[in-house]
Amino acid sequence: MVVSDAPVGASFRVIRITKGKEVGKRLADMGFTEGAEGEVVRSGFLHDPLQVKIRGYDILIRRSEADDIEIAPLGNWPAAETAG
Amino acid sequence: MSEVARSILRVALAGNPNAGKTSLFNALTGAHHKVGNYPGVTVEKLEGSRIRNGREYRFIDLPGIYSLTAYSMDEVVARDFILDEKPDLIVDVLDSTNLERNLFLCLQFQELGIPVVGALNMSDEAAAKGIAIDVEALSAVLGIPMVKTVGSRGNGIADLLDCLDSAGNQQAATFNNSHASHSIHYGEEIESRVKPLEAAIAADASFATRFPPRWLAVKLLEKDANAYRRLSSHKNADGVAAQARESVAWIEKHYAKDAEIVISEQRYGYIHGAAKETVTLVRRPTLSPTETIDKVTMNRFLALPIFILVLWGVFKLTFALGAFPQHWLELFFGWLGGAVASVVPEGFLRSLLVNGIIAGVGSVFSFVPLIVILFFLLSVLEDVGYMSRAAFATDKFLHAFGLHGQSVFPMVLGFGCSVPAIMAARTLKSRRDRIVTILVIPFMSCGAKLPVYVLLAGAFFPKNAANMVMLVYAVGVVISLVSAFVLKKTILRGDPTPFVMELPPYRAPTLRGLLWHVWEKTSQYVKKAGTVIMAAAILIWAITAFPIYALSPGEVDSLTTAYKIKNAGADQAALASYMETARAGAALEHSVAGSIGKFIQPVFRPLGFDWKISVATVTGFAAKEVIVSTLGILYRVGTEEDEQSASLREALRADSNFTPLVAFVLMLFVLVIPPCFAALSTIKAELGWRWLGFAFLFMLALGWCLCAAVYQVGMVAGSALHTRAA
């Protein structure tokens, strides 16, 4: 499961970044590292980009980048308004 | 070597974007600033100084960054400055409300082997959010002296300076020893790889004085290309590199992850451990004002309409407010020209002073009010934190064309004037995105192209004039998006720049910060563009004024007779004005500009342009609205015609060569060909000569091909219609 699978309002715990090099390194440097907890806050008009809360601050990432972040769900995920 | 003797301390100011670095820099340095560039790149370099207790502090502002990788130009600039210039101290500005991510950068500076002092900035905001930081404990755990500050209000500056003072007083050796024992611990497995690598690097003693071995060892494990390049001057470069690659392979096998990701994870692990002991949340955060506002401004359906509204507001305000000072400046330079003309006798010198230099300086300064207002408004949006929201609203659409969410502001500003628009593209962090954005900005029809469209549409499409003008604007937008797409697929191809952007909370801007931004941008414009634009204005003046041509008495006689026959009963004044226009026309026709126009006319024939249009496009490089007045002179209508002139429209229509098709092609041509000298010199200032050359040829080639195609197709279609009608 990756961040782009999470519906708006869902909390998650990062398992791993599946990509290295520039994109993966940037995501890791911004705080998406193993064990970090976050939440999908909202998504844009065509469900892209995503606003994600990580390590207590907010970040915007494209869905294509969110695909590289493997996660495990935390708590109950809202089913209604999915980000995907 | 004792540091007590140091009377000058060179202090690098570093930190994340949105951590309040600029306001802290201002609070530290007061009014003593110097703006420059880092060598070889367009990243701005700010320097300022302060004298305190007989010691001079020289502050150098590093670009705002999140990490020290080799992927971003800003990060490379910051790292190279530390490694190559070796400042005495680094002040890392930390956003106290967001400590973990901010410490991530701070600890990388610590590894570079230069004493680091942490400024826990925005400490008031953190307190309001219920975040309690045990400063002494945090300093002790990390081995970095920390001070609480509020840069926007100047709080904690004295404490920070005291801290710098004592750090500067310590002997370098002492500091380095205490620092070495404190640098980040990556966990036993990684350390078992870092330490041998560190030892191998330190084996070359002279190399180790230039690059901190531990820092380089970690960077090699992060597969940092720049670190491998620096290693090449090591005595045993190949051996160390091989050892590093072997360690990378071991880490990746052991963790089943990319090594550079593992290093980041270990760093965050270390930070999380330190923060857990020293940072506590004393109460649960309530719904912040930012979240409430974002519920509206970042709503899926409202974000884009709100953005368009904001943009429209900035646009309207800039050109509405800017019109007054712009008009005053024009009046002033007009008055100055008149005053000089009344003192200097008619001739070469007067023409050079009035039409060349004063007109040139005037054209440079007439942009200044626009730039001041525009950058003030843009700085407000940026300092408030709206820019990331704008990128959120537009990224999906622009990304489809290879542009970036942040390209939207510069591009829309292009409808007003390309000069500030090109400068506004600085907000784009990726160089490739910035180049693409700058290259397509001129296709957004600027305010000076409008008079040309109005004249031609009014003369040749009187029933659909407004629609024709709108059509040309729309074609411009399409061309800019398509060119961006093509450029991104060809010469500017590369991995897509990740869209990973912090969304800072809304913050009230400080007036001081805003004025500082405006002053910085404006003075740069006047300095950089000013010299080039003035030289260009003088050049345009010279090629239209030389060689001096005067009508011979015979020509005057025949023109006068012809005029009198055609306009029986016309008074002396009308004749005099006709003769003045005729003289100006003949002078322009025989000038260098006229010769160029006539010389290149064969090139323009496939587009249906005669020599008059060719000359007008040449003089149009001074400013696009000049095309209108040039046509006025060449069609013998008057020397100062504008786009509303009925007689100029009539004269154009009367020319059998000037068909509606030619008029439409000319509108397209004015849209696509390279912009005025002011915009060209701004492109040069922002991207350098090579990209200016590319932009020039690209627009010229595109303009010619597009217009030739439209004209030829139009001719064929026209004659087909004609045959059918007959």
Half-sphere exposure of A26 (CA within 13 A, CB side): 20
Residues in A touching B393 (Cβ below 8 Å): 44-45
Residue with tokens 């496939």: B606
- d(C-alpha B263, C-alpha B703), whole Å: 51
d(CA B153, CA B138): 24
CB-CB neighbors (< 8 A) of B496 in chain A: 64
Residue B527 has pLDDT above 80, yes or no: no
Would A82 be classed as within a structural domain?
Answer: no
pLDDT of B726: 60
The 10 Å Cβ neighbour count of residue B208 is 17
Confirm or reject contact between A13 and chain B (CB < 8 A): no
A21, A28, A61 member nearest B264 (Cβ):
A28
Residue B98: half-sphere exposure toward Cβ, Cα within 13 Å: 26
| Confidence category of residue B137, pLDDT binned at 50, 70, 90 | very high
> Of A3, A17, A58, which to mutate for an interface test with B (greatest number of B Cβ within 10 Å)?
A58
CB environment B271-282: b (16+ within 10 A), e (fewer): bbebbeebbeee
Which pLDDT tens digit goes with each residue over B551-572?
788 888 888 888 778 777 777 7
Lowest pLDDT segment from B295-299, B387-391, B627-631, B634-638: B634-638
Closest by Cβ to A17, choosing from B97, B261, B405: B261
Number of structural domains in chain A: 1
In a domain, A39, yes or no: yes
Cβ-proximal residues to B370 (8 Å cutoff; 6+ apart), any chain: B318, B319, B322, B326, B416, B417, B419, B420
Which positions in chain B touch A64 (Cβ < 8 Å)? 496
Instruction: Report yes or no on A29 lying in a domain.
Output: yes
What does the alpha-carbon distance between residue B530 and residue B365 come to, in Å, rounded to a whole number?
8
pLDDT greater at residue B41 or residue B344:
B344
- Residues of chain B contacting A49 with CB distance shorter than 8 Å: 392, 395-396, 405, 499
Yes or no, beta carbons of B499 and A24 under 8 Å apart? no
pLDDT of residue B648: 83
Partners of residue B269 in chain A, C-beta under 8 Å: 33
Q: Which range among B263-277, B289-303, B483-497, B660-674 shows the weakest confidence by mean pLDDT?
A: B483-497
Average the pLDDT over each of B30-44, B186-200, B313-327 and give the range with the smallest value: B30-44
What pLDDT, on the 0 to 100 scale, is given for residue B373? 87
**Mean pLDDT over residues B212-221, rounded?**
94
pLDDT grade, residue A83 (50/70/90)? very low
- The pLDDT score that the predictor gives to residue B2 is 42
pLDDT surpassing 70 at residue B640: no
Which ipTM value was assigned to this complex?
A: 0.93
For chain B, the domains span 8-182, 188-273
User: In this complex, do A59 and B391 lie within 8 Å of one another by their Cβ atoms?
Assistant: no
Summarised one tens digit per residue, pLDDT across range B684-723 is 988 989 999 999 999 999 999 999 999 999 999 888 877 7
Contact at 8 Å (CB) between A11 and A75? yes
Domain B8-182 indexed as CATH 3.40.50.300: yes
Nearest CA in chain A to B298: A44
CB contact under 8 A, B301 and A60: no
Structural domain span for residue A12: 3-74
Measured in angstroms, the CA of B61 and the nearest CA of chain A are apart by: 22
In a domain, A19, yes or no: yes
| Among A23, A45, A56, beta carbon nearest to B303 | A45
pLDDT at residue B638 above 70?
no
Could you tell me if residue A34 is inside a domain? yes
DSSP state of B283: S
pLDDT at B314: 83
Lowest-confidence region among B137-151, B225-239, B604-618, B625-639: B625-639
Beta carbons within 8 Å of B536's beta carbon, 6+ residues apart:
B360, B621, B622, B677, B678, B680, B681
User: How far is residue B312 from each of residues B67, B304, B308, B318, B613, measured CA to CA in Å?
Assistant: 36, 12, 6, 10, 34
The token duo for B440 is 């397509």
Residue B495 or B295, more confident: B295
- The band of B7, judged by pLDDT with boundaries at 50, 70 and 90, is confident
Name the range with the highest mean pLDDT among A17-21, B52-56, B491-495, B616-620: B52-56
* CA B605, chain centre distance (Å): 37
Shortest distance between the Cα of A51 and any Cα of chain B, in A, equals: 8
Which residues make beta-bridge pairs with B89? B11
Per-residue pLDDT for B520 more than 80? no
Higher pLDDT pick, B429 / B106: B106
Per-residue pLDDT band at B179 (split at 50, 70, 90): very low
How far is it, in rounded angstroms, from Cα B237 to Cα B379? 47
B472 versus B282: the higher-pLDDT residue is B472
Asked if pLDDT for residue B537 goes beyond 80, the answer is no
CB-nearest to A60 from B97, B495, B501 is: B501
Residue type, B395: D
pLDDT band, very low/low/confident/very high, at B318 (cuts 50, 70, 90): confident
CA torsion sign, B339 to B342 to B343 to B344? Answer: positive
Tell me which fold the domain B188-273 belongs to: Helix Hairpins (1.10.287)
Per CB-CB distance under 8 Å, the chain B contacts of A66 are none
Between B176-190, B418-432, B524-538, B670-684, the lowest mean confidence (pLDDT) is in B524-538
CB contact under 8 A, B300 and A43: yes
Cα angle B115, B121, B125; round to 5 = 160
Is the CB of B495 inside 8 Å of chain A's CB atoms? yes
| pLDDT, position B483 | 96
The predicted-structure confidence for B90-126, as pLDDT tens digits, reads as follows 999 999 999 999 999 999 999 988 999 999 999 999 9
- Tell which wins on pLDDT, B150 or B387: B150
pLDDT at B417: 79
Q: What is the pLDDT, as a whole number, of residue A84?
A: 45
Contact with chain B for residue A15, Cβ under 8 A = no
Tell me whether A16 touches chain B (CB under 8 Å).
yes
Closest CB to A25 among B261, B294, B303: B261
Q: What is the pLDDT of residue B87?
A: 93
> Using a CB-CB distance cutoff of 8 angstroms, which residues of chain B are in contact with residue A56?
97-98, 100
- The winner for highest mean pLDDT among A47-56, B610-619, B649-658 is A47-56
Predicted confidence (pLDDT) at residue B530 exceeds the cutoff of 70: no
Calculate mean pLDDT across residues A49-69. 94
A48, closest residue in chain B (CA to CA): B396
Q: A40: which chain B residues are within 8 Å (Cβ-Cβ)?
A: none
Distances (CA, A) of B563 to B283, B569, B576, B577, B582: 91, 10, 11, 11, 11
Phi-psi region of B62 (alpha: psi -120 to 50; beta: other; left: phi over 0): beta
Question: Who among A22, A29, A56 is closest to B98 (CB)?
Answer: A56
Residue of B nearest to A30 (CA): B101
Number of C-beta neighbours around residue B166 at 10 A: 11
- Average the pLDDT over each of B24-38, B164-178, B389-403 and give the range with the smallest value: B164-178
Q: What is the mean pLDDT of residues B443-463?
A: 88
CATH of the domain at A43: 2.30.30.90
- A6 min Cα distance to partner chain B (Å): 17
* Residue B1: predicted pLDDT: 41
Is the distance from CB of B153 to CB of B122 less than 8 angstroms? Answer: no
B residues 188-227 lying closer than 8 A (beta carbon) to A: 222-223
Q: Which residues in chain B are closer than 8 Å to A32, comparing Cβ atoms?
A: none
Asked if B14 contacts B78 with a C-beta cutoff of 8 angstroms, the reply is yes
* Per-residue pLDDT at B423: 82
Q: Using the beta-carbon criterion (under 8 Å), do A55 and B66 form an inter-chain contact?
A: no
The answer to whether residue B354 scores a pLDDT higher than 90 is no
Percent of chain B predicted with pLDDT > 90 = 42
Between B1 and A82, name the one with better pLDDT.
A82
Task: Tell me which of A81 and B349 has the higher pLDDT.
Answer: B349
Query: Rounded to the nearest 5 degrees, what angle is found at the Cα of B611, between the Cα atoms of B466 and B356?
Result: 85
Tell me if A84 is assigned to some domain.
Answer: no
Q: Is residue A33 part of a domain?
A: yes
Of B69, B101, B396, the CB nearest to A57: B101
B69 lies within 8 A of chain A by CB: yes
Segment B166-176 mean pLDDT: 65
Q: How far is A79 from chain B (nearest CA, A)?
A: 18
- Of the pLDDT bands very low, low, confident and very high (cuts 50, 70, 90), residue B529 is low
Q: What is the pTM of this model?
A: 0.81
Name beta bridge partners: B502: A59
Q: What are phi and psi of B53, to 5 degrees?
A: 50, 45
Rounded average pLDDT over A24-33:
94
Average pLDDT, chain B: 86
d(CA B338, CA B325) in angstroms, rounded, equals 20
Q: Is B499 on the interface with A (CB under 8 A)?
A: yes
Give chain B's radius of gyration (CA, Å): 32
pLDDT at A81 over 60: no
Q: Which of A36, A51, A65, A56 is nearest to B268 (CA)?
A: A36
Q: Does A44 touch chain B (CB under 8 A)?
A: yes
**Minimum Cα–Cα distance from A19: chain B residue:** B258
Element (DSSP H or E) covering residue A12: strand A11-17
Interface test with B, best of A3, A25, A65 (most B CBs within 10 A): A25
pLDDT of residue B3: 44
Of B380, B362, B364, B361, the closest CA to residue B318 belongs to B380
pLDDT of residue B533: 64
- Least confident among B12-16, B177-181, B366-370, B696-700: B177-181
Contacts with A, B 222-281, CB within 8 Å: 222-223, 257-258, 260-261, 264-265, 268-269
Least confident of A64-78, B51-65, B117-131, B308-322: B308-322
Q: What is B331-379 written as a DSSP string?
A: HHHHHHHHHHHHHSPTTHHHHIIIIIIIHHHHHHHHTHHHHHHHHHHHH
